Structure 1
Amino acid sequence: MMAKYADIIVDISNGNLDKTFQYEIPEGLMGRVKIGSQVMIPFGNGNRKIKGFVLGISSEPKIAPEKIKAIAEVPKTGKVVESELIELAAFIKRNFGSTMNDALKTVLPVKREIKQKQDRYAAVIAGEAEAREALSIARKKKHVQKVRVLEYLIERTYPNTASKAEAGRDNKISSKKIDRAQENEAAVKKLNGASDRKYIKITPELDFTKSVLDSLAKSGIIDVRNEIVDRLPQMPKMAKRDRPVLNEEQQAIVDDIYVRMDHNDLKPSLIYGVTGSGKTEVYLNIIENVISTGKQVIMLIPEISLTFQNVNLFRMRFKDRVSFMHSKLSLGERSDQARKAEEGSIDIMIGPRSALFTPFKNLGLIIIDEEQESSYKSENPPKYHAREVAEKRAELAGAMLILGSATPSLESFLRAKQGRYKLYKLSKRAVEGASLPKVSIVDMRAELRDGNTTMFSRELLNDMNKTLAEGGQTMLFINRRGYMSCISCRSCGEVIKCPHCEVSMTYHTNGKLVCHYCGYTIPMPNECPNCKSKLIGGMNGGTEKVENSVKKFFPAARILRMDADTTRGKDDINNIVSSFSKGEADILIGTQMIVKGHDFKKVRLVGILAADISLHASDFRSAERTFDLLAQAAGRAGRDKASGKVVIQTYQPENYSIVNAATENYDKFFENEIAFRKAAQYPPVMNMLAVACYSKNEQAASAAVEWLHAIAEEAAISGIMVYNVGKHTVYKVADVYRKRFFVKCTDYEKLADLKDILEKRIIDRGGLGSATAQFDFNPLDSY
C-alpha cells in the first residue's frame, strides 16, 4: 500500500496557520485520518504526545521518508469544534477558490493575545475603628493615594458614621466619576452575595497604583477582587411587548419543524412569507425548542443596522444568553463574544456573515434571515456565499439550516421547487387586522410632460403632507444601485442595452458604451434612439440631495437620514433606528439599509424614488435585485393595524419586476425571471465562474489573464463554455488594472475541477509575477 502523509498544525491559536508538520498515516489509521481530524502526535526531541489537526493529506513526502514520524492515535472522543471548522475551511478552499491558509483565517479568526478587561473591587475587612486608624496614619504620613482609597471605601462602607469633615477631604473625584464606580451592578451583586462583605468598585479616577491596594490588603485592612468585564457595548432598549400568539400558518411551520428535528430530518428549510408575516416570531419559537435541548443557535442577518432590533427582541425572550458580533465592534469586544461562545455561557449568536463561524460546540440550528441579500456573499477572497457554507456547517454539526425571506433568491426558490429544500409559506401578515399596503405606481415620464421637474411626484407630496398631518411616519427610499453607469432617457424611459446580452451597457469616460459580458461597444449617443429626446444621460441624486429637497417642501418636519455618511460611528446605526422607532422623527431617508427587515410600527407611507434605476445596472441579476428592493421597501408600510401606502416612482411602470413587486407577487416574478435565466444561460440554471486578474501593471494583468484563459480553453471538457477575455466593469481602481473572463457549466464540480487546474498551474509557475488571480463562483457583483 502506498504511504500516505498528513500535514498537521499543532497550534491554531496564533496567526501562523501555514506552519505545518508532516506525519505518516499508519496503516491501522487509514480511513480514520481525514482533513480536520484531531490526532495525537509525537512532537519534539522527547516525542511528547500533543494534539494536532490535519490540514491536508498527500502521498508525497516533504523530507526523507525515514525521518517522518507516524501519527500516534486518533482520539475516540467526539468531533471537536476546531475539527468541524477546519473541514469547513477545506470546503471553502475547494468550492470557492483560495489557499488553505486564507480559508483557515476566514473560519478561525486569529486569536491574538487580547487581555481580558477587568474591574477591581475592594471590601473593608477590618473593623471600622481599625480602618479609620489606618486612614489617620496615612494622613499623618501624607500617603495621598492611600488616603484617597481609604476615604472612598470607608465613606461607602460606613455612610452613617462618616463625619462631614472626612467626607470628601482630599478626595477630588467628582460626583459624576463616583457614580461610574457602580457601573457593573451584576459584579457587585455577585461579590456581595457570596459573603457578608460590601465590595465596592475601585474606579480608576481615584488615581492610585496597584502597590497601594496590595499594601492595604497585606495589612488586613481590605480584600481585593478582580472581575472580568464583558466589553460588549450597551444597546438602546426597545419598549417591551407582549409575547404574540402564533397564527395558524406560523404554528403549523413551528410544529412541523419540531417533528422533523425529533426524527432527525435535517433537510434545509425555506420559509417564504410576505413582508410582515411574522417570520421572526417563527424563528423565536423554533429557537426556544432548540436551546431547551442544550443546543446552540446562529442567527445571520444581512445588515449591521438590523442588530439593534433583533438583539432586543431576542433578549426579551432569552435574556443574557444572547450575544452579537459584527465588524464595528472592537477586537476586544469580538474576542469577548467568541470566548463566551466557546465557554458555553451564551446560546445564541446574532450577526452578519462572519457570525457563521462562531465556535459553538453543540450547534443545533442556523438561521439566515433575508437570505436573498447580496451581503451574504464575501467580496474578498475566498469569495464564499454564506448560504452554501451554512449548509455545509449544518451538515457537519448535525444541525438544521433555515432560510427566510419575503423575496427569496432564485437559487433558494429553485432548490425548494426541486425538492432540495423544504418549502414553507406564510401568506398573510401576522398582526390581526393588518393588511398589505395599497401601492401606487407613478409614471415619472407623465410628471415631466405635465411640467413637474422635481424628484417628487405630486401624489407622493400630497401623501407625505397627509401622513404628517395625521401623525404617521414616512420612509423615503432612494434606489441608487447601478446609477453611476447606466444611460437612460428621462422622456421615454429607454435604457441603452446590449443587443446580445440583455443587460444595460456601461458608460466609460472615453465616450463609449460597453457591454461587460460580451464586449460589444458603441459610441455614447447624443439623443435617445427610441424617441429622439436630448434628455439622455446618467442618473444621480443621493440621500443628502433628497433631504435638502424634503426640507424645502416640509420645513417643520423632523428628518433623519441613514446612509454611509451618517453611520460611520459604532453606535450611529443603533441610535438612528432607536430614535425613529420611538417616533422622534417624522421622515427617514436612506438607501438599501433602511428597507431590510426593519419593523417600524408607525410607518404609514413609503416613497420609492427612481424605482427602476437598479434595472439598468450592467448585471444579469438587475431585475431580481429591483424586485427584491421594491418589495422589501413596500413591506415597511402599514405593518400595524393602520393602513399603509406605497408610492413607486418609475420611468418604466410596465416592467415585470416593478409590476410584480407592487403586488408582492413573487411567484409570477420567479416565473418570468427564471425563463430569462434559462434562455440566457445564467445562474441558477447554469453555474458560472469569473476568473479575474489584477495588477498595477496593465500589461502584467493582460498577460496573466490571457495565460489563464488559454489554459482554461485547453482544459475545458464537454459541457464547459469559456468566454472571451474582457475588462472589468470598473477597469482601474486605486491604480490597479482589472481583467477577467467567464466560464459556464451546468455541473458545479466541473467548474471547481477547472479552478483547481488553474490554481495548480499558478503554483507550478511560481505565481503570476506582479499580477494576482481571484476566482468567483456564481458572482453577485458585475464584472
Structure 2
Amino acid sequence: MRYAQVVPDIPTRAIDGCFDYAIPTELETSCVAGCTVLVSFGHRDVVGYVVSTSAEVSEGVNPLRVLSVERMLAPPAFDEVAAGLALWMAREYAAPLASCLRLMLAPGQTVRVRKSDEGAWELVCNRAQAVDDRWAALTDAGRAFTPRKNASRQRQVVEALAAGPMRVAELAAMVSGAAGVVSALAKRGLVEIEHRRRIRGAEQASTLSSANAPRPTQLTAGQQGALAAIGEAVSARRGDVVLVDGVTGSGKTEVYLDAIERVRAQGRDAIVLVPEISLTAQTVGRFRSRFGDDVAILHSRLSTGERFDQWDLLRSGAAHVVVGARSALFAPLANVGLVIIDEEHEGSYKQDQAPRYHAREVAAELARRRGAALVLGSATPSLESLERCRAGSWRGVSWARASMPERPGGAVLPAVHVVDMRSQPGAKGGSVFSRTLRDALLEVAERREKAVLLLNRRGFASFLMCRECGCVPTCPHCSTALTYHERTHSLACHTCGSVWPVRAYPDPSTKCPNCGSRYLAQYGVGTQRVEDELRMLLPEDVEVIRMDADTTATKGAHTKLLEQFDAAECAVLVGTQMIAKGLDFPEVTLVGVVNADTTLKLPDFRAAERTYHLLEQVAGRAGRGERPGQVVIQTYWATHPAIRAVEKHRRGPFVAYELDEREEAYYPPFSRLANVTFAGLNEGVVRDRAAVFARELRARVLDLPGEWEVLGPAECVRAKVKDRFRRHVVVKAPAAANVGPVLTVAADALPARRDVALSIDVDAYDLL
C-alpha cells in the first residue's frame, strides 16, 4: 500500500501541513506528486494537491484510520521540489499553503467543490485544454480525382488542396461549406484529415529593431568577467547568486544569452524574469533570435488558453527557456540550471496579493533547491542586493557582484542637466516645459531624432481643486483624490476604478461639490496634458506617442506603440514608468523628466531609492547609439542626494547616505519589515481588531532574540478603499529573523471574525 501526502485546497493559514491518504490500487501509477485529487476532509469532499507519496504513513498516524483518495482530478503539474518551495513560501510569507500550491498549477485549472442550489456539495472542474486543428490534404486518389462540372464546391476544395495541406478552418473561410465537403471526400478516401496541436501564445515576431540579438564580435571586459562569475555559480550547483551590476546599455542581455547558451549545452533549463509587460516583446524577440522555438512565454496579457499552451510546452519538454513576469518562476521545469531576474530592483517583483512573495527571494530559494545559479541584473541594484554582496553571503548562500562599468562600442553615458524649477521664470501659459527642455525638444525635431519624456502620472491633471473653498473631489468609496481626464471630461479613481463625468473651469457647467463655486480648476500634470502641449510645440511631422495605463489597456497595445515609435523617422514617446527601463532605441538622443519629484515626496522610506532608480534608468534610454545623448530633469528639489547622484552618474555617495538613514531608522536592509492590514465596513470593529492583534504580537516578540519593534496600530495612508476602513500594524524585525511564523501565530490567536479582513505582507513594499 502506498500513501499520498495531500494538502486540502482550503485557503487558511490554519492548514500548514499535509494529510495522509491511501492510494487505491487503480491509482498507484498515476497518483504522484503534483496531482490534483478529490479527498474527504472534515466530513465533506474537498479538492487536494499531492505533494509527495510514500510507502508508509507519517509518524504518529494510525494506518487503519487513513482514508483513501477518492479520484484523480488533474494530472501532475509540479514535482516534490516545487511542492517543497510552496511549503517554504507559506512559512516565509505567512500565507495559506493551498494558495502557494495554486501558483504551480496549470493555467486555467479551477477545480473546486461548491454547494449547489439544492444544498448538496458538487464538484466543478474547469481546466484549459490543448486545441487540435484539423488539417486536410489530398490523398493519391484525390490528386487524380476530377469533380463533376456541377460540383463547384468540390472543385474549389480540390483546387485549394492541390497547392498543399490546409487547415479546415482556413479552407472554410475561403469556400462556403468546405467543412462538409472535406468530410464527404474523406469518407471516399480522397482527402486525409490530420489533427495537429495548435500552440496559442506563439506571438508573431515583433518588428522592433531591438527585438533581435546579433552576436557581437567581441565582448567587453565587464561582460567577460560577469560570464566567468556566472559560470562558477552554475558549476557550484548550490544556489549561488551573482549580481550583474552594469550601467545602462552595458550589454547585460548579451551576458544573459551567453550564460543560457552554456547552461543549455549542459542539458539544463533557464528562467528569465522581466519586470514590465512592455519589455516582453523586445526580450522574447532577442531570446528567440538566439534560441528559436526553445523559448516559451508566460505573462498576464496572454489568454488562459495561450498561457496553458506555453506552460505545456515547458512541461512536455518541447521548450526549455521561459521568459515572463514573476509567475514564470513557477513554470514546470525540473532541471533548472539558471534563473535570471532582469532589473532586479523593480518593485513589480513583489506580489501585492496573497501570497505576497518577493520574486527575488523565491528565486534564491528555488535556485538553492534546484542546484541552480541565480543572476540578478540591474544598472541600479536594490540596496538589499548591494548589502548582501558586500557581506558576501546571505542565508548560507554566496552572493557576488560582477561590475560592468562600460558601454560596448565606445558609447558613453548621456550628459544630465538638472533644471531647478524654483528659479525658472513663469512659463507662458503655464507650460509644463522649462525653457531648457523646450529648446532641447525643438532641437531634436530639427535634427530628425527621437526623444523620450517621462511623467509618472496618468490623466490630464493630478486633481481638480476649488479656488474658492479648496475642496478637492475625492472618491466616496476610497480616501483618494480623483484624477481629471480631459479627453473624456471625467474624474477617475485609480484605486477602485470608479468614474464620474465632470468639466473644469472655464466651462459654465463646472460646479464645486462642496460650495457650488464654478471655479473648479486643474492642478498638477498628467500624460494627456504633456501630449497636448507637445503637439502644439512641435512640427506636425513629429509623431507624438503616449504610453500609459490608459493607452496600453488592450492586448498587444504595448508592442504596437513601441513599434510605431521605432518605425517613426522623428518622434517623441511620452509615458509613465513603463517606458523608463529596458527599452533600447539607439535613435533616442534626448530624455526629459517633466517632474522628478512625484515619487520623491511619497510617504515611503524607499521614496528616495525609487526616485534614483527611476531617473537613472530613464536617463539610460538616451545615447545608446552612435550619437551622444542628453537628459533634462525638471525638479523643485535639485539638491536632493538622489537627484545629484543621477546628475553625476555617481551612485556611491547616494547609497552611503541612504544606508546611513536606513540604519538609523532600523529599516531594510538592516531589518525585515512586515505590514499587517485590517479592513472592514465598520470602522470601530476594525480599530478594535487591530488593537487586539498589536497587543498579542507585542507579548509574543518580547522574548525573541534581536530587536523587534511593533508600531501602531494606526490609520493607513489610504484610510478607506472600496468602502472599507483600513488600519495597519508595522513590524520591524532582525534581518535574519523568521517573521512569517511569528505573525501567523499572533493572527491565529485572534477570535474568528468574518467582518474584518486581515492581510499579512512580509518584506512589505507598500505601506500606504
- TM-score above 0.5: yes
Show the counterpart of 1:102.
99
Show the counterpart of 2:448.
471
1:729 Cα deviation from its structure 2 partner:
1.1
The answer on 1:540 being equivalent to 2:524 is yes
Show the counterpart of 1:563.
548
Q: Distance in 2 between matches of 1:758 and 1:597?
A: 42
1:411 Cα deviation from its structure 2 partner:
0.7
Q: Distance in 2 between matches of 1:129 and 1:317?
A: 40
Q: Distance in 1 between matches of 2:522 and 2:648?
A: 29
Show the counterpart of 2:247.
274
The answer on 1:238 being equivalent to 2:208 is yes
3-state SS of paired residue (1:600)? coil
Q: Distance in 2 between matches of 1:353 and 1:585?
A: 35
**Deviation digits for residues 664-686 of structure 1, max 9, x if unmatched?**
22222111100000111111111
Amino acid at match of 2:435: R
Q: Distance in 2 between matches of 1:540 and 1:771?
A: 36
Distance 1:125 1:480, change over 3 A: closer
Show the counterpart of 1:256.
229
3-state SS of paired residue (1:775)? strand
Q: Do 2:93 and 2:762's aligned partners in 1 also have CA atoms closer than 8 Å?
A: yes
3-state SS of paired residue (1:226)? strand
Q: Distance in 1 between matches of 2:16 and 2:302?
A: 27
3-state SS of paired residue (1:725)? strand
Amino acid at match of 2:734: T
Distance 1:407 1:41, change over 3 A: closer
The answer on 1:123 being equivalent to 2:137 is yes
3-state SS of paired residue (1:619)? coil
1:663 Cα deviation from its structure 2 partner:
2.1
Show the counterpart of 1:229.
198
Q: Do 2:453 and 2:594's aligned partners in 1 also have CA atoms closer than 8 Å?
A: yes
Show the counterpart of 1:519.
none
Q: Distance in 2 between matches of 1:439 and 1:614?
A: 19
Q: Do 1:237 and 1:312's aligned partners in 2 also have CA atoms closer than 8 Å?
A: no
The answer on 1:554 being equivalent to 2:552 is no
Q: Distance in 2 between matches of 1:311 and 1:247?
A: 23
- Residues 325-364 of structure 1: matches in 2 within 5 Å? 325-364=298-337
Q: Do 1:80 and 1:361's aligned partners in 2 also have CA atoms closer than 8 Å?
A: no
**Deviation digits for residues 46-94 of structure 1, max 9, x if unmatched?**
xxxx994249998776xx76422699xxxxxxx9942122111111111
3-state SS of paired residue (1:638)? coil
Show the counterpart of 1:152.
156
Q: Distance in 2 between matches of 1:67 and 1:221?
A: 62
1:152 Cα deviation from its structure 2 partner:
3.0
Show the counterpart of 1:594.
579
3-state SS of paired residue (2:6)? strand
- Residues 9-28 of structure 1: matches in 2 within 5 Å? 22-23=20-21
Alignment gaps of 5+ in structure 2: 24-31, 41-47, 70-75, 110-125, 394-398, 466-478, 483-520
Which deviates more, 695-704 or 277-286?
695-704
1:263 Cα deviation from its structure 2 partner:
4.2
Distance 1:334 1:42, change over 3 A: closer
Alignment gaps of 5+ in structure 1: 26-35, 45-49, 72-78, 140-146, 160-197, 488-505, 510-536
The percent identity for this pair of structures is 33
**Deviation digits for residues 517-550 of structure 1, max 9, x if unmatched?**
xxxxxxxxxxxxxxxxxxxx99621100101111
- Residues 440-479 of structure 1: matches in 2 within 5 Å? 440-448=417-425, 453-479=430-456
Q: Distance in 1 between matches of 2:637 and 2:39?
A: 69
Q: Do 1:480 and 1:614's aligned partners in 2 also have CA atoms closer than 8 Å?
A: no
Q: Distance in 2 between matches of 1:129 and 1:661?
A: 70
Which deviates more, 303-312 or 656-665?
656-665
- Residues 105-184 of structure 1: matches in 2 within 5 Å? 105-109=102-106, 111=109, 112-127=126-141, 131-133=145-147, 135=148, 139=151, 148=153, 150-158=154-162
Q: Distance in 2 between matches of 1:698 and 1:103?
A: 31
Q: Distance in 2 between matches of 1:118 and 1:475?
A: 44
CA RMSD, Structure 1 to Structure 2 (Å): 3.5
Q: Do 2:445 and 2:570's aligned partners in 1 also have CA atoms closer than 8 Å?
A: no
**Deviation digits for residues 718-777 of structure 1, max 9, x if unmatched?**
432211211111111111211101111115435223212124324xx3x32211111111
Show the counterpart of 2:748.
760
Q: Do 2:322 and 2:328's aligned partners in 1 also have CA atoms closer than 8 Å?
A: yes
Q: Do 2:449 and 2:570's aligned partners in 1 also have CA atoms closer than 8 Å?
A: no
- Residues 401-550 of structure 1: matches in 2 within 5 Å? 401-420=374-393, 421-430=399-408, 432-448=409-425, 453-480=430-457, 540-550=524-534
The answer on 1:200 being equivalent to 2:197 is no
The answer on 1:83 being equivalent to 2:80 is yes
1:450 Cα deviation from its structure 2 partner:
8.1
- Larger-gyration structure (1/2): 1
Structure with greater proportional strand content: 2
3-state SS of paired residue (1:127)? helix
3-state SS of paired residue (2:642)? helix
The answer on 1:247 being equivalent to 2:220 is yes
Distance 1:151 1:282, change over 3 A: same
Q: Distance in 2 between matches of 1:103 and 1:40?
A: 14
1:479 Cα deviation from its structure 2 partner:
3.2
Show the counterpart of 1:730.
718
**Deviation digits for residues 279-335 of structure 1, max 9, x if unmatched?**
111111101101111111110000000001111111111111112111111000000
Amino acid at match of 1:740: H
Distance 1:508 1:584, change over 3 A: closer
**Deviation digits for residues 150-202 of structure 1, max 9, x if unmatched?**
3233213557xxxxxxxxxxxxxxxxxxxxxxxxxxxxxxxxxxxxxx42332
Show the counterpart of 2:507.
none
Show the counterpart of 2:496.
none
Distance 1:668 1:227, change over 3 A: same
Show the counterpart of 1:28.
none
1:435 Cα deviation from its structure 2 partner:
0.5
The answer on 1:680 being equivalent to 2:665 is yes
Amino acid at match of 2:93: F
The answer on 1:578 being equivalent to 2:550 is no
Q: Distance in 1 between matches of 2:429 and 2:186?
A: 79
TM-score (norm: length of structure 2): 0.79
Q: Do 1:612 and 1:658's aligned partners in 2 also have CA atoms closer than 8 Å?
A: no
